[in-house]
Amino acid sequence: MMVNIWLLALGLQLLHGVTSSLVKLNNGGFEDIVIAINPQLPEDDKIVSTLKEMVKEASTYLFNATKQRFYFKTVKIIVPLTWTSKSEYRRVTIESYEKADIIVADPFLKYGDDPYTLQYGGCGEPGRYIHFTSNFLTNDSLHDVYGPRGKVLVHEWAHLRWGVFDEYNNDAPFYPAGQNKVEATRCSADVTGKYVFPTKDGKTRTCKYDHRTQVYEAGCQFVPDRKQSTPASIMYMQSLSSVIEFCNSNSHNINATNIHNKLCNYRSTWEVITSSKDFASSSPLSAPPPDPTFSLLQTQDRVLCLVLDVSGSMADYDRINRLKLAAEIFIRQIIETGSWVGIVTFNSGATIKTYLQHITSDSVRDSLVRFLPTSAGGGTTICAGVQSGFNVFLQKYTSTEGCEIVLLTDGEDSTISSCFGAVERSGSIIHTIALGPSAAKELEMLANKTGGLRFSATDSLDSNSLIEAFTGISSRDGNISQQAIQLESKSQNIKPLQWLDGTVSIDETVGNDTYFIVTWSVSVYPPGIFLTDPKGKKYRQTDFEIDDTNRHMARLKINGTAEAGDWIYKIQNTHAAGAQVISMTVTTRAASLTVPPVTVKSYLNQDTNNYPNPIIIYAEVSQGFLPVIGANVTATVEPAAGPAVELELYDTGSGADILKHDGIYSRYFISFNGNGRYNIKISVQGKNKTARRVRRYSQALYVPGYVENGVIKMNTPRPEVSEDEIQPDIGNFNRIASGGSFVLAGAPPSSSSPPPDIFPPCQITDLEAQLEDDEFLLSWTAPGNDYDIGKAERYEIKMSKNPLELRNAAFHTATSVNTSGLTTEFAGVKQSFQFKSENFTKENGTTIYFAIRGIDDSNNVGEASNIARTVVLVSTFPTTLPTTTTTFPTTLPTTTTTFPTILPSTTASGTASNYTAASPMKTTSLTSSNKENNNSIINTTVIIVIIVCAAVVVICAIISITICVLKGRKTRSPASAM
């Protein structure tokens, strides 16, 4: 019965996307698109008017580009609270800056007007948001380099909504297309232009061919003709006036070395779009659509009510005391100054403990803390608590729109659905915290319906999950300088006279309003507390404040800005009677209004899941929109019952991670332990000289110039930021963030025997191919036995001249590569495999494609990898002795990696083969089966060398005789001719 309840709740929530976008598609029209303006931007009406013009232009362009299927119907623009109020501005309801589809914000560094879309998922998966700068919206001179704003928006919307990728590549702008032939990375290949190299005097010259790289020299640029005849493609260069459609199967350039081909396995952008849910649920419209309609909303002061369960079950597992402790931290340290806060408790009925109070000082916070509950009893009526929360808002305001409720409960309530309608009509946001394993299964639906956050916390006493849930409920107005940032969250069961210790790194971007919070579970007296700042100043338990309302918590507020560096703490359990749980929590805020702090945000690929589908955990680490790479990122996943699982997240471009070094760290999670809720905590640690900022990978194409009537007219060079500006020393830093929670259904029941192995190796996403002399060299990151855990059993490699044959459906039909001698490595290890193909004829200009997939010891087959390509280029000048002439046999001997042992195994098709461990840069040798051919090759080579040497001797003799004759003629006497 419990499983059925979870499945019902899951089914009702499946339409709730992980991106939490509010956009709906209604008869081809996208409704409720949210555009939010960052509160740091000064008031500028031109931004709003330009946004309207851009969306209107984009709607018509999108309608035509999608063959009369889609257009922009309704748009909401959120202006900051700091802007002047106007009668046309309405209150925000469930919209927010943090969940906007499009944000307008200036970059952290001076130069950075490139529009971009933050994408963290694979092909066909939606992105997080589109980012435009105010300068892009107000500076008309950027039209020449990006094109009309409406067309740029359609380019970015395709990223955001349909998960397609760019068809250019700033890192690989060219690719070899034959002997001494180079093409620009573009789609379609029919886009014409010139290849030029800008010189220091402002002129250009023809690009030079680099024989080493087989493409043009670094710094070469492709300058398109202003007038084109090709209509594609929007994902390459939407700035061209002729471009009116996405690349389709007819115009797609499968040879282009762009990220779209890599991630989408050479499908065209239009093929990806037509396979989307949007396309499946729509049809062409018979008439042009109306213009978009706009609503202007303005952010208001934060208004929030805590609605807290005090039913009888809250007395179990010390829940009521843990609730009071976590809620107190929220009131004292998390909720922003200037907010309005009220408190409601509920059991069989509901009680308004205090109406809204305006947080203007610490004394107001003290007052609110005194209203927190300390006892529990009675039943559970969630709707009564929610309705009382609405009444708290209505006591001050005429509407509940835009107000927030933090709803915490540990019990079930069969009547919870009775208030769903009122909740949706309220315009309020409800954040939910499910405490313990028995909280109402429909609880998350309240959050999903209102755009709220969803958390869960277990009854484990040595877990800080309840505190982490409350600290994750910060303002979502985009004002990062006012938001609380958690630096530490550590909790352990400590034996008598033993220690809880650790180091908290406070970097220079934070330090204001810093609190160190120590809690303990049993003793009436505080433990021994020893804290040392980076300069050696020491703090003891006597420096910490213990409030009369909570004798199990001590807090220390650091005056001013906390000293940057490593703070070391040691806490001793002085409770001689037994062990107790001791925890350390550290929160802070930004040190400056102008320098953004390093932040971490966590996302899931889905917040409701059916076993055995994996959950993908993402953590975005950034500073002012710049990715931060090189950090150590760990996810702690805690089920409702059972031990927590720690998982290191990677930014390596392999496994679940799509792009290397984009500041988004990812990992598969499959260590499920029954149905129910799982909460997630993200821990980030950055080390000095290791963590650094980098440029954002995906950006709009900056067009270098155009060719008009045969004349090259260059645009202003793209402004570049120096490496010193991008990569300053961030220093050591710590960050903690709640990753929310997800719900699992359909898991097998717990038993003494392990469940059957149904998890395949993960898809290999970073396969690369090279051709060195006559040998192919493939390299990739090893998958695991179960996604990215363990080691796969074997590999299957295919090759083809047609990349379409290497997709999953047709993979078995492609030519197999002999993988004898190739074994697997543990997940995450770089591998390579060098070989000669038995059935490959070397023809100049031929493009060869490869794909690989892993197979585990239960014959679970992973998805086919990304498709790698290499081009065969035969040099016109011999670089070695003619030992590899066309007199060799047409069937080349197979080469494999040599290993000390050969282990028998079975391929996916059931044929016998051998596998051993492969490692990077192994040497290769000819197999024993080809010794006879080798002897033939050697004999042929000797004969050729003898013939060549004899020919050289004859030629030299002829030349010598000729020179002597000519010399004799020149010395004759002119008179006698002798």
d(CA 555, CA 543): 9
Most distant pair of Cα atoms in the chain: their distance? 139
The C-alpha torsion from 892 through 893 and 899 to 903, rounded to 10°, is 110
The two tokens of residue 734 are 């710590």
Task: Give, in order, the Cα–Cα distances in Å from 299 to each of 302, 448, 480, 647, 850.
Answer: 9, 21, 15, 37, 52
**Do residues 295 and 74 touch, judged by C-beta distance below 8 A?**
yes
Give me the amino acid identity at 876. T
Q: What kind and span of H or E run contains 556?
A: strand 553-561
Task: Give, in order, the Cα–Cα distances in Å from 682 to each of 629, 647, 648, 674, 741.
Answer: 15, 10, 10, 22, 12
- Give every CB contact of residue 147 below 8 A, 6+ residues apart in sequence: 237, 238, 239, 240, 703
Phi, psi dihedral angles at 563 (to 5 degrees) = -60, 130
The C-alpha torsion from 473 through 478 and 484 to 490, rounded to 10°, is 60
- Nearest 5°: the CA angle 408, 409, 413 is 135
**Do residues 462 and 492 touch, judged by C-beta distance below 8 A?**
yes
d(CA 373, CA 324): 7
Location of structure tokens 């002119």 = 974
d(CA 875, CA 625): 45
The two tokens of residue 277 are 């849910």
**Do residues 207 and 873 touch, judged by C-beta distance below 8 A?**
no
The two tokens of residue 969 are 């003629």
Q: Over the Cα atoms of the chain, what is R_g?
A: 33
d(CA 530, CA 535): 15
Task: Give, in order, the Cα–Cα distances in Å from 611 to each of 53, 402, 411, 667, 669.
Answer: 46, 36, 25, 17, 11
d(CA 407, CA 308): 6
Q: E-assigned strands of 775-861?
A: 775-781, 794-800, 815-816, 830-835, 847-855
Q: What secondary structure does DSSP assign to 39-54, as a single string?
A: TTSPP-HHHHHHHHHH
Is 424 assigned a catalytic role?
no
Cross-strand partners of 956? none
d(CA 151, CA 569): 55
d(CA 648, CA 665): 9
For residue 365, the 8-state DSSP code is H
Q: Terminal CA-to-CA distance of the chain, rounded, Å?
A: 122
Q: E-assigned strands of 658-758?
A: 664-669, 676-686, 692-693, 705-708, 711-714, 733-745
Out of 156, 442, 444, 638, pick the active-site residue: 156
- Nearest 5°: the CA angle 290, 55, 57 is 70
Of 551, 521, 520, 311, the closest CA to residue 408 belongs to: 311
Task: Give, in order, the Cα–Cα distances in Å from 212 to each of 209, 221, 280, 288, 553.
Answer: 9, 18, 47, 53, 66
The two tokens of residue 562 are 């906390």
Location of structure tokens 């029209």 = 29
Catalytic residues: 156
